[in-house]
Amino acid sequence: MTSISGQVGRLKQAAIDAAMRRGGYRADGDSYLSIQLPDYGVVTRPGEDGLGGGIAVRIPAEHPRARLNSSQIAEMKQSATENFTAEFDRIRTTIDTIVAPWEELPQGSTIDSVAEKCDTLVSNLMGAITESGSAFSGSGELGSVLSRVVMESTSFGGGALDDFKMRYIDDGVTRAARLTALAEVLGQAICAEAEVWRAAQDDRDSLLAQYITEFDKVAQGDGGSLELGFKIVGAALAGAALFTTAGTGTAIAIAGAGIIADLGAEIAKEESETSKNERRAFDDVDSGLNAFKQSFEALSSRIYEEESALIAAVDATIDRVKDSADKFQLAPAPIYKWEDDVMYAEPEKNLSLARTFLPQAAELTETASSEPSDIASDLTEALQHDYAAGNRSAGASYTVAAFARMTKTLLAEFAWDLDRGATNLEYALLDLMGTEESNTEQTQELAAEIESGETHNGREADELLDPPKPPTFDYRLHELMQ
């Protein structure tokens, strides 16, 4: 494909050719020849880069019958040259002004690289999700650790321990799937933007090529007429379906009760129903330049409509998540009251769950929580462009950033929940095993802290993965762990 600089240069040449045709000249190689007096009307023609030209080499006044002296002819040539070059410069400046905002557009390939980070985020969470009855599992890093948590939890139960398993293990996997779905929606939004700008670049190049053709027609004595059908139409909708991580659609499907919608379906609801095809007709350079300007304004409007549909779709998903915030958070851990509960446990397995696997899940989730903001920042940078192209300097990135912040907060709170749950379980198990009395007090204090629900009000905790206080050493426990 011809570079935009090459297309713009060729467009300038074609527009100047059209102007000269209306002035009684036709293009012939690197010159314009007077249609009436080709031997006595010769003007230099701009090159294919659109530069130069406009020098009157010969003028009709040089015809012998004009009976002008050489001084008069020289003055008339100078005046003609000034008029031609001024007109050529006016045309070139007009085209440069129209095209300037469209020279450096966001690149679809650059935006794709941001979407690839969402693939990585999904893989670090649940990845591809499978369903077995009412239980879920995932192939991602967090999914693998949570699968181990589920397996290890089969060795304890009864009383409050059953309550703990339901809240932190069964519901924890479901919460992880919903959080993975948020990461997928983030990826869909970014892929939608990539397709918008990939189509916008194609439409820009197509407009340049079409107007070169139509100005050439005017330069040959015909009128220019073209019908515009933009590729940009539906680009965001198509892009939302392009996110190709292994878990696409699965997490969304099991997120439950329409909490998270497929972004493509949401975009389809918002797309404008206005006519997408437009006709432009002109028979001289000025009407052609005006049509050229209107065509780029129409492209800008189409980009605006596409990104507005994307913004509305992302906002709708944010609202759905906020309305169902409890489905993305874990219930407080239970308070263990041994006198009322009959529980059983295997210390070796259960303490490895509390000290190894649940903390691993918390650490993976906490690490993942930093990714959405970085992804949103990268998207904003990738989308920077002239404000006149689409009427936004960074597209839908600010709304996507709001979605990313929400995702980050929910991931961070999930990490905090998992970490507190691990500590709660550890203290409970130590107390159940008959370690020192202080563990009972610590268990009650921690459980009360979690049960208060203070971390489940939508705000990100100030500190996450705060390491638990080391339990008092117990010789019997040491022997059991050998």
Q: How far apart are CA 249 and CA 237, in angstroms?
A: 15
Query: What are the phi and psi torsion angles at 457 (to 5°)?
Result: -105, 20
Q: How far apart are CA 152 and CA 310, in angstroms?
A: 43
Q: How far apart are CA 11 and CA 390, in angstroms?
A: 23
CB 308 within 8 A of CB 143: no
Q: How far apart are CA 300 and CA 47, in angstroms?
A: 30
Degrees to nearest 5, angle at CA 347 with 345 and 353:
90
Residues with pLDDT less than 50, the chain: 1-2, 436-437, 455-482
CB 31 within 8 A of CB 23: no
Q: Which residues pair with 226 in a beta bridge?
A: 280
DSSP line for 167-207: IIIIHHHHHHHHHHHHHHHHHHHHHHHHHHHHHHHHHHHHH
Structure tokens at 256: 């439950």
Degrees to nearest 5, angle at CA 173 with 168 and 178:
120
- 468: which DSSP letter? P
Q: How far apart are CA 365 and CA 330, in angstroms?
A: 14
CB 38 within 8 A of CB 243: no
Q: How far apart are CA 275 and CA 298, in angstroms?
A: 11
Residue type, 293: K
Query: Strand, helix or coil at 328?
Result: helix
The ranges assigned to domains in the chain are 4-98, 108-481
The alpha carbon of residue 138 and the mean position of all alpha carbons in its chain are separated, in whole angstroms, by 25
Structure tokens at 111: 């935006």
Asked whether the CA dihedral 437, 442, 444, 447 is positive or negative, the reply is: negative
Q: Are strands 224-229 and 277-282 parallel, antiparallel or unpaired?
A: antiparallel
CB 173 within 8 A of CB 419: no
Structure tokens at 418: 């998992």
DSSP line for 1-69: ---HHHHHHHHHHHHHHHHHHHTTEEEETTEEEESS-TTT-EEEPP-TTS-----EEE-GGGSGGG---
Query: Strand, helix or coil at 136?
Result: strand
Q: How far apart are CA 310 and CA 397, in angstroms?
A: 10
Which residue in this structure is represented by tokens 């129409």?
298
Q: How far apart are CA 145 and CA 139, in angstroms?
A: 9
| Other C-beta atoms lying within 10 Å of the C-beta of residue 391 | 12
| Other C-beta atoms lying within 10 Å of the C-beta of residue 132 | 7
Q: How far apart are CA 122 and CA 128, in angstroms?
A: 8
Query: Strand, helix or coil at 301?
Result: helix
- What's the pLDDT score for residue 457? 42
List C-alpha distances in Å: 470 to 30, 355, 423, 458, 473: 87, 11, 10, 30, 8
Q: Tell me the per-residue pLDDT of 344-385, one tens digit each, with 9 for 90 and over.
A: 887 767 888 888 999 999 999 999 999 999 999 999 999 999
Query: Strand, helix or coil at 223?
Result: coil
Q: How far apart are CA 4 and CA 211, in angstroms?
A: 13
* 280: enclosing H helix or E strand: strand 277-282
Phi-psi region of 222 (alpha: psi -120 to 50; beta: other; left: phi over 0): beta
Residue type, 402: A
| Other C-beta atoms lying within 10 Å of the C-beta of residue 142 | 29
Query: What are the phi and psi torsion angles at 289 (to 5°)?
Result: -65, -35
DSSP line for 152-166: HGGG-BSTHHHHHII
Q: Tell me the per-residue pLDDT of 90-103, one tens digit each, with 9 for 90 and over.
A: 999 999 999 999 99
